Amino acid sequence: MAQPPWLVVVAASVLAHGSAGSGDPDAMFQYRTYEEMVQTMMALNASHPDVVDLFVAQDKYGLPYPTDLQCGEEHGVAVPCKQYVLRITNESTWDGDRPEVFFSGALHGNERVGPQATMELALLLVDYATSFAAGSTSSDSTNVRRSKAWLHRLVNSRSIYMMPMTNSHGYYHNKREENGVDPNRDYNYKTNGNCMQAMTSRAVNELWRDHMFQLAVTFHGGMRCVTYEWGAPNHMDADSARSERSPDDTSQAALASALSTFAGKFPDGTYYPTGTMNDVVYGVYGGMEDWAYAASWENEFASRRDSAIFAPCAPTQYGEYPPEKTSYNNMTHRAFNLLVETSDSKHPVQSALGLRSSIYDVDLEAVPTAPVGHVVQNVRLGLLVIDMVQPYIVWQPPVPKHTSHKRQLTSTVAGCPLSDLHVVDCDASGPMSTCAMAITTTHVRVRWDVLGSFTVDETFVQVSTDAAFDTGQGASPVLSGVTRRQRYVDKVVEDSQSISTAFAACVPVSSASSTMFLRAQAKVDQGWAFQKAAVSPHVPPQSHVVNARTNPQYKMEWNGRRIQGADYFYSPVITLTTSAAPPPSPDTSSRHGGTDGFRLPVSGVVLVAVASLLTVGALGLWLVLRRRRAKYKRTPTTDPAEAGAPPDGPPVGVAHPDIQTMKEEDGDPL
């Protein structure tokens, strides 16, 4: 959205309301009014147009501005309520393969935590991604730099869509409904055409028709939980009075558990409860959650009792809405749409929202060990949702030398020579993607993390003389394990960052090629393709997010967006170059534990060398004298001094190096 010049000038002052860099870092998060939310979004777009796009759904999709939906006045003129949409991504590098994530702040206007959390999530993403890109991290702590690098990566590799005030009319008037219509009963999941009555629902519908969202969150309030499909009465099992399981249940359950942990504990020491919406909350028809998950495919597999689950809408409010806009193709509605009930109170006291320092002064990937407040919890939850939409690999720096962990790594990485003369540690964790080798290098050692996933079924390193990895390949042994994110599923939170989940490999390289290429690859979360219980309908996983990482034949393309299933995901490529210069002297401390051993200073080395030469000379002189004594057949006396013969041992007048006294003159050792 193009902004007037005056807005750019005032952007900084408006954003100060939600910026970590202004005011007291221990200040509490605050509720924003409708007008303040609009000003913040417009200022964010004006100050960072390279990563923020802002548009109004009514203007983009040709929706009307009903006179019934007014949100205040300006200069005595009524202002229509607008559905604002933020998109956060690196606009300069966007392409159709970038996975898409969606956040709804509030379908119910009187549930106030979600809009604040969504707005703060947007501010944090933009602040950290842009400051990292600008190199403005020199004064940051290690924790903050690590967090900025993470969010910079997310903004560069995902498209994040947000509607902080989805029900704008309800938010302005602090009411659950929009003009008497409950937006979360207004989607066409078994509503027999009575749907899309609210402008809220139409705005969301238009956006989803344009995109292929893979993960989504819809924030609510009035209880505490993170829940997933199914959430409609037709998916209740009559015998057990429990919810039927969706075809994607394994992955949904794992993701909800991870989000619950990562958000952090409430003051009573508990995490968000998790489960299906039917079991934890209650089932409804017309809900946004099941609509977003199944509108593209469930009709195809519906039983006779559930025929026509999705039927076109025929609303009577706000004029005609074409029925074809609620008939969907098989691509747009296959998302996990997680229902997050943020708090028992729909409008908690402001002091319960949390402190800015709980987001801006911490390592965001570490699970908090103390309660952090409602806004902080749900900003954290949102970050993990964005992370998990697609697997990725991050190079890690080498284990520092002079540590026992380094010694352990050398001995446990298969095929790694003990001599550092033949091994190069590649560090591609920073901006450089090259690694220099010496002519004596026979192996390259690397470390990497697999993220955006829970389990690693296979991971290894490839080396090739071809940048496309089509020829001349070599590979490290295949490894498997779990990622850092899996610890959130398992509720392992203590020392969540200190226990490394990084993989390591030592791969042989050829000195015959001056340039080689190296990459890591990983196959992840293959268990998501198999369900642990009977599912309804009885079909394989239907979601984009599961098929994209378990089904290489899966391919969806719509409106310039693409989702291609894959077996493997790849790291950035490291270029290996060979230098003819002699290698530096090997640092033997890395083989002997560094500071655990003793290392002489240069002066000590010189003294030892001199003493060794003196020893050799003394022994030579002693042998000469012995030969001379034997030649003249002298008879030894009982007084060696009188005879002039040396006693057994070093010659007289030559100090033994073991007892030589080191002297200093002018402060320099001899």
pLDDT tens readout for residues 46-58: 999 999 999 999 9
Per-residue HEC secondary structure of 137-195 comes to CCCCCHHHHHHHHHHHHHHHHCEEEEECCCCHHHHHHCCCCECCECHHHCCCECCCCCC
Cα–Cα distance between 605 and 70 in angstroms, integer? 85
**Would you say residue 482 has pLDDT above 70?**
yes
| Geometric angle at alpha carbon 478, from 476 and 482, rounded to 5° | 125
Beta strands in 406-490 (DSSP E): 423-425, 434-437, 443-451, 455-464, 474-475, 479-482
Local structure of 505: helix, strand or coil: strand
What whole-number distance in Å separates Cα of residue 616 and Cα of residue 650?
10
Sign of the Cα torsion 528, 530, 536, 539 reads positive
Can you tell me the distance from the alpha carbon of 299 to that of 307, in angstroms, rounded to the nearest whole number?
Answer: 7
Q: Name, in order, each residue with C-beta under 8 angstroms of 14's C-beta and a sequence gap of 6 or more.
A: 39, 40, 43
Q: What pLDDT, on a 0 to 100 scale, did the predictor assign at position 112?
A: 98
- Asked if 622 and 628 touch (Cβ cutoff 8 Å), the reply is no
The pLDDT of residue 619 is 52
User: How does pLDDT run across 382-396, given as a tens digit for each residue?
Assistant: 999 999 999 999 999
For residue 526, what are the CA distances in angstroms to 1, 250, 400? 41, 11, 34
Quote the DSSP letter at residue 535: B
pLDDT at position 14 = 53
Q: Which residues pair with 459 in a beta bridge?
A: 479, 522
Identify the residue with better confidence: 41 or 596.
Answer: 41
pTM of the full structure: 0.84
Q: Give, in order, the Cα–Cα distances in Å from 192 to each of 36, 179, 312.
A: 39, 21, 8
As a whole number, mean pLDDT of residues 51-76 equals: 96
Residue 76 pLDDT grade (very low, low, confident, very high; cuts 50, 70, 90): confident
pLDDT of residue 308: 81
As a whole number of angstroms, the distance between CA 569 and CA 523 comes to 7
Which residues, in sequence order, are CB contacts of 139 under 8 Å at separation 6+? none
Beta bridge partners of 444: 424, 507
What is the model's pLDDT at position 94?
Answer: 95
The band of 416, judged by pLDDT with boundaries at 50, 70 and 90, is confident
- Per-residue confidence (pLDDT) for residue 26, from 0 to 100: 76
pLDDT at 307: 67
pLDDT beyond 60 at 579: yes
Q: Which pair of structure tokens corresponds to residue 306?
A: 């559930």
Domains and CATH numbers, the chain: 34-243+276-390 (3.40.630.10), 394-400+415-578 (no CATH)
CA pair distance 668, 603, nearest whole angstrom: 9
Q: Is 36 helix (H, G, I), strand (E, B) or coil?
A: helix
What pLDDT, in 10s, does the model give residues 171-200? 999 999 999 999 999 999 999 999 999 999
3-state secondary structure of 425: strand
36 neighbors 27 (Cβ within 8 angstroms): no
